[in-house]
Amino acid sequence: MLNIANFSKLYYTGDTLSPVQNRTLMKTEMFSSLRVIHGVAVRTALSVAVSVALATSFAAAPVDAFAKTSTSKSTKKLAKGAATAPQAKTVKSSKIAARSAKAEKGVKVAPIAAVQDDEVPRATRRHRVSYRMDAHGRRAAVRSVAFQPRPPTVGQAFGLHETPDSLALRSSVAYVVDQNTAETLFDKNSRAVVPIASITKLMTAMVVLDSKAPLTEDISVTDEDRDYEKFTGSRLSVGSELNREDMLHIALMASENRAAAALSRYYPNGRPGFIAAMNAKAKMLGMTDTHFENSTGLTSQNVSSARDLVKMVNAAYQYPLIRKFSTDRSYDVFTGKRNIAYNSTNALIRNPSWDIGLQKTGFINEAGECMVMQTTIHGRPVVMVLLDSSGKYSRFADAGRLRGFLETAGEPHITSADAGGGGT
What residues act catalytically?
Answer: 198, 201, 255
Give me the numbers of helices (H) and strands (E) for the chain, helices first please: 13, 13
Q: How far is CA 34 from CA 43, 45, 64, 253, in A?
A: 14, 16, 46, 97
Cβ atoms of residues 92 and 100 within 8 Å? no
Amino acid at 229: E
- Please give the Cα distance from 327 to 358 (Å, whole number): 6
- Please give the Cα distance from 190 to 193 (Å, whole number): 8
Q: How far is CA 116 from CA 86, 89, 92, 307, 342, in A?
A: 11, 11, 12, 60, 55
Q: How far is CA 275 from CA 131, 137, 202, 260, in A?
A: 51, 54, 13, 12
- Please give the Cα distance from 161 to 368 (Å, whole number): 12
Cβ atoms of residues 219 and 243 within 8 Å? yes
Cβ atoms of residues 301 and 291 within 8 Å? yes
CB atoms within 10 A of CB 146: 4
Residue 388: strand, helix, or coil: strand
Q: What backbone phi and psi angles, to 5 degrees, belong to 358?
A: -165, 145
Quote the DSSP letter at residue 108: -
- 243 - beta bridge partners? 218
Cβ atoms of residues 368 and 160 within 8 Å? no
Q: What backbone phi and psi angles, to 5 degrees, belong to 8?
A: -65, -40
Give the HSE-up count for residue 282: Cα atoms under 13 Å, Cβ half-sphere.
Answer: 25
CB atoms within 10 A of CB 225: 24
Alpha helices for 303-393 (secondary structure H): 306-316, 320-326
- Please give the Cα distance from 178 to 377 (Å, whole number): 10
Express the helix, strand and coil content of the chain in percent, nearest 5 each.
45, 15, 40
